[in-house]
């Protein structure tokens, strides 16, 4: 457990050693800030004319997840690929660290960074709470944020798993992007085309369980699905590292 | 400390090492020599727990490198050939990170101790990427020494260092080797000769020679093999030489000479000279066949060793 934390801490710090952390934060917080301002502006306008409903965090958090589809591969692409390319993987694999600890530590480092950004985004519901009378529904906010953590954790786990397979970080980026894009946007499409048997595809979509959580409905199926995908991603990463040893 | 038996590693259809058998004792510095692609790095990687062998067994500090890999890794300090480092990290932070992964108590003190040992204490706050090649090599060495390992495995430890640093690092390895086991690979044959108690020469995945440096020195001094030439028949000369007590492996050469061997430690050349002259031969040449380590290396490894 200590090794996982040591690796996670180093990865978290490492994001801030280069421009990546700031680029990702800008790419997330700027559109979210603009979107949030627009929501406040239009909701205010509508309220002045006696129409519209109270604004909530759902659309803002939906935008966060949409952006993470494209940014999470950037956060994970170098995690293990770069270690393999630079040869530092040899150092880690000859240190008394289990392969699973290495992979989980890398994932946790990326998760800590995403949680840091999520922490910043908490300003939106806090601001919103001041504008809405009698305040926003915090249970919906909590449900939405748990959903955000689970979906981001899933995306990052997929990314870490892919990063363990490739030594080239660009290959890692595009393969991760492809998998996440497919699971988020495309896997649910057959559900509409096959009304009888297609419902199963809805369950496999990364988007659907989150949409429910974002609306304040936590489903056990959704939580189990995300936790299963996180485990699968980390297991794939650990297996890829073990295969590297045997090659 | 290290016991290797029947160690074999295949990369696909290519056999990198084939049935290696050797051992290294505590307080011994063992040199691992061989041409490029001979299997040195593969063997070292197996011993450090980086990769498992395809067949055979290796014990390091009494632990199996496959079954008890974590225990092995706790006890081994490893400097890979390419000296992989995080160039965007500060020297001290990097060593502290590696120390924390090894759960070293008072890690800050140990990092300073290791930096002091490799002479980099004044560069501890510099970025690794800004260091010279030799300094990076020393950072890698500090990383290998950080946890005071029982076994130190060094892949080309002095490559890239300037002559002064080479002397310092060799001195450091020598002092470590007094108490611990050091297995080092090198292309520098004089390094193996000066530093190592014993040398393993590997070629095409097989150990082709294993000897103490003293015995190799003996060959260098030429006290083992001697060629004799006289005016006369080589066959008769060979018969004459065979009568000298202690002489063995007497062979006639195509050019009319005779080559013989005797056990190192006792020089039989005076006795052979007296015998040859006493038998009425005109002695033309009595020449020790001195072999340098380079010659031994080239002879054992064939053309590949000439790289």
- CB-neighbour burial class of residue B168 (10 A; exposed 0-12, middle 13-18, buried 19+): middle
Strands B258-262 and B225-231: antiparallel
Residues of B in contact with A16 (CB under 8 A): none
Out of A6, A14, A245, name the one closest to residue B101 (CB): A6
Cβ(A237)–Cβ(A163) below 8 Å: yes
Out of A10, A90, A247, name the one closest to residue B97 (CB): A10
| CA of B165 vs chain A CAs: smallest distance (Å) | 23
Phi first, then psi, for residue B238 (nearest 5°) are: -60, -45
| CA of A4 vs chain B CAs: smallest distance (Å) | 9
Out of A18, A97, A246, name the one closest to residue B101 (CB): A97
What is the per-residue pLDDT for B34?
83
Instruction: Find residue B33's DSSP bridge partners.
Output: B201
Nearby residues of A63 by Cβ (< 8 Å), 6 or more positions away: A31, A32, A35
Q: Is B129 on the interface with A (CB under 8 A)?
A: no
Residues of A in contact with B74 (CB under 8 A): 96
Out of B48, B82, B100, name the one closest to residue A94 (CB): B48
Confidence of residue B220 (pLDDT cuts 50, 70, 90): low
Q: Is B127 on the interface with A (CB under 8 A)?
A: no
Q: What would the mean pLDDT of B295-307 be, rounded to a whole number?
A: 59
Rounded distance between C-alpha atoms, residue B165 and residue B206, angstroms? 32
Q: How many CA atoms lie within 13 A of A128 on its CB side?
A: 23
Rounded distance between C-alpha atoms, residue B223 and residue B54, angstroms? 42
Q: Is A1 on the interface with B (CB under 8 A)?
A: no
Please compute Rg for chain A using Cα positions.
20
Q: Inspect the interface and report whether the beta carbons of A94 and B143 lie closer than 8 Å.
A: no
Out of A14, A93, A96, name the one closest to residue B50 (CB): A93
Higher confidence at residue B219 or residue B151?
B151
Out of B84, B97, B143, name the one closest to residue A6 (CB): B97
Residues of B in contact with A89 (CB under 8 A): 84
Closest CA in chain A for residue B78? A94
Residue-by-residue pLDDT tens, chain A, 247 positions: 899 999 999 999 999 988 999 999 999 999 999 999 998 888 878 877 776 677 778 888 899 999 999 999 999 999 999 999 999 999 999 999 999 999 999 999 999 999 999 999 999 999 888 887 777 888 999 999 999 999 999 999 999 999 999 989 999 999 999 999 999 988 877 777 776 777 777 788 888 888 888 888 888 999 999 999 999 999 999 999 999 888 7
| CA of A140 vs chain B CAs: smallest distance (Å) | 40
| Token representation of residue B55 | 């067949």
Chain B contact probe: residue of A17, A89, A95 with most B CBs at under 10 A: A95
Nearby residues of B71 by Cβ (< 8 Å), 6 or more positions away: B61, B63
With 90 as the cut, is the pLDDT of residue B204 above it? no
Q: What would the mean pLDDT of B86-103 be, rounded to a whole number?
A: 94
Chain A contact probe: residue of B8, B45, B49, B50 with most A CBs at under 10 A: B50
Q: Inspect the interface and report whether the beta carbons of B102 and A245 lie closer than 8 Å.
A: no
Rounded distance between C-alpha atoms, residue B159 and residue A179, angstroms? 44
Cβ(A93)–Cβ(B52) below 8 Å: no
Closest CA to A94 of B157, B45, B61: B45
Chain B contact probe: residue of A85, A89, A91, A243 with most B CBs at under 10 A: A91
| CA of B123 vs chain A CAs: smallest distance (Å) | 19
With 70 as the cut, is the pLDDT of residue B218 above it? no
Cβ(A107)–Cβ(A232) below 8 Å: no
Q: Where are the alpha helices (DSSP H) in B33-162?
A: 40-47, 69-75, 91-101, 107-117, 133-145
| CA of B106 vs chain A CAs: smallest distance (Å) | 15
Cβ(B136)–Cβ(B83) below 8 Å: yes
| CA of B200 vs chain A CAs: smallest distance (Å) | 23
Rounded distance between C-alpha atoms, residue B105 and residue A147, angstroms? 40
Q: Is the pTM value of this prediction over 0.90?
A: no
Convert the pLDDT of each residue in B125-165 to its tens digit: 999 999 988 889 899 999 999 999 999 999 988 887 888 88
Closest CA in chain B for residue A5? B101
Q: Is B82 on the interface with A (CB under 8 A)?
A: yes
Helix (H, G, I), strand (E, B) or coil at B228: strand
Confidence of residue B307 (pLDDT cuts 50, 70, 90): very low
E-assigned strands of A1-135?
none
Q: Is the peptide bond before A134 cis (omega within 30 degrees of 0)?
A: yes
Q: What would the mean pLDDT of B229-236 be, rounded to a whole number?
A: 84
Closest CA to A150 of A217, A230, A72: A230
| Token representation of residue B80 | 């890979």
Q: Inspect the interface and report whether the beta carbons of B143 and A87 lie closer than 8 Å.
A: no
- State which H helix or E strand residue B30 sits in: strand B29-33
> What secondary structure, in 3-state letters, does B141-178 show?
HHHHHCCCCCEEEEECCCCCCCHHHHHHHHHHHHHHHC
Instruction: Find residue B7's DSSP bridge partners.
Output: B20
Closest CA in chain A for residue B99? A95
ipTM score of the complex?
0.88
Terminal CA-CA length for chain B: 32
What is the per-residue pLDDT for B306?
44
| CA of B85 vs chain A CAs: smallest distance (Å) | 6
Cβ(A162)–Cβ(A179) below 8 Å: yes
């Amino acid at each position: 457990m200590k090794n996982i934390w040591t690796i996670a801490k180093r990865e978290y710090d490492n994001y801030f050693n280069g421009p990546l952390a700031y680029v990702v934060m800008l790419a997330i917080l700027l559109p979210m800030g603009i979107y949030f301002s627009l929501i406040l502006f239009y909701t205010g306008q509508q309220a002045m004319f006696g129409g519209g409903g109270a604004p909530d965090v759902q659309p803002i958090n939906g935008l966060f997840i949409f952006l993470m589809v494209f940014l999470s591969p950037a956060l994970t692409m170098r995690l293990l690929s770069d270690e393999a390319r630079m040869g530092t993987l040899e150092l880690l694999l000859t240190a008394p660290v289990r392969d699973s600890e290495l992979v989980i530590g890398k994932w946790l480092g990326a998760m800590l960074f995403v949680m840091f950004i999520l922490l910043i985004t908490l300003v939106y519901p806090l601001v919103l709470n001041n504008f809405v009378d009698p305040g926003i529904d915090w249970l919906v906010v909590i449900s939405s944020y748990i959903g955000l953590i689970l979906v981001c954790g899933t995306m990052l786990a997929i990314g870490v798993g892919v990063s363990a397979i490739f030594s080239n970080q660009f290959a890692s980026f595009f393969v991760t992007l492809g998998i996440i894009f497919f699971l988020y946007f495309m896997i649910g499409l057959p559900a509409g085309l096959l009304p009888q048997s297609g419902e199963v595809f809805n369950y496999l979509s990364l988007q659907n369980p989150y949409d429910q959580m974002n609306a304040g409905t936590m489903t056990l199926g959704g939580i189990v699905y995300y936790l299963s995908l996180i485990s699968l991603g980390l297991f794939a990463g650990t297996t890829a590292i073990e295969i590297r040893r045997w090659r | 400390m290290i016991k290797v038996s029947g160690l074999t590693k295949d990369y696909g259809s290519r056999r990198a090492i084939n049935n290696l058998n050797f051992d290294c004792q505590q307080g011994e510095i063992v040199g691992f020599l061989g041409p490029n692609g001979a299997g040195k790095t593969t063997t070292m990687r197996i011993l450090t727990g980086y990769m498992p062998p395809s067949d055979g067994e290796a014990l390091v500090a009494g632990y199996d490198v496959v079954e008890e890999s974590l225990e092995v890794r706790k006890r081994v300090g490893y400097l890979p050939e390419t000296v992989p480092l995080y160039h965007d990290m500060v020297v001290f932070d990097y060593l502290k990170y590696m120390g924390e992964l090894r759960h070293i108590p008072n890690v800050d003190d140990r990092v300073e101790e290791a930096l002091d040992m490799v002479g980099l204490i004044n560069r501890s706050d510099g970025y690794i990427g800004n260091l010279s090649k030799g300094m990076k090599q020393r950072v890698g060495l500090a990383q290998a020494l950080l946890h005071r390992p029982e076994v130190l495995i060094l892949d080309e430890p002095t490559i890239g260092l300037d002559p002064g640093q080479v002397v310092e690092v060799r001195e450091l390895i020598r002092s470590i080797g007094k108490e611990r086991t050091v297995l080092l690979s090198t292309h520098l044959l004089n390094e193996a000769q000066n530093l190592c108690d014993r040398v393993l020469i590997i070629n095409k995945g097989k150990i082709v020679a294993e000897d103490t440096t003293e015995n190799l020195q003996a060959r260098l001094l030429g006290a083992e093999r001697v060629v004799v030439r006289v005016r006369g028949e080589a066959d008769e000369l060979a018969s004459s030489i065979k009568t000298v007590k202690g002489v063995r492996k007497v062979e006639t050469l195509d050019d009319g000479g005779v080559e013989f061997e005797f056990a190192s430690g006792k020089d039989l050349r005076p006795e052979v000279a007296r015998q040859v002259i006493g038998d009425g031969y005109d002695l033309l040449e009595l020449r020790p066949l001195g072999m340098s380590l380079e010659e031994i290396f080239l002879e054992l490894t064939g053309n590949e060793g000439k790289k």
